Amino acid sequence: MSEHRAHPRIDVAVRGELEHEGDTIAAETQNLSTGGVALKVRQAVPDGAVVTVQLFLTQDGFEDPDEAPLVTKAAVRWTAEGDGGGHVLGLQFAKLADAKRAQLDRFLSIVGKAAGAA
Q: How confident is the model at residue 105 (pLDDT cuts 50, 70, 90)?
A: very high
Which CATH topology does 10-117 take?
Thrombin, subunit H (2.40.10)
Amino acid at 90: G
Q: How far apart are CA 72 and CA 106, in angstroms?
A: 17
Give the pLDDT confidence score for residue 1 in this predicted structure: 38
Distance from C-alpha of 45 to C-alpha of 43, rounded to nearest angstrom: 7
Average pLDDT over residues 21-48: 95
Q: What is the mean pLDDT of the chain?
A: 88
Confidence of residue 2 (pLDDT cuts 50, 70, 90): very low
> What pairs with residue 29 in β-bridges?
39
Of 7 and 82, more confident? 82
Ramachandran category for residue 85: left, alpha or beta (phi over 0 → left; psi -120 to 50 → alpha): left
pLDDT of 104 over the 70 cut: yes
pLDDT (tens digit per residue) in 44-91: 999 999 999 999 987 665 556 677 899 999 999 999 998 888 999 999
Largest CA distance in the chain: 42
Residue spans of the domains in the chain: they are 10-117
Contact indicator for 30, 11 with CB cutoff of 8 Å: yes
Q: Tell me, what's the pLDDT at 86?
A: 94
- Running DSSP on this structure, what letter comes out for residue 105? H
Q: Would you tell me how many other CB atoms lie within 10 Å of the CB of residue 59?
A: 16
The amino acid at residue 25 is I
What pLDDT score was predicted for residue 113? 77
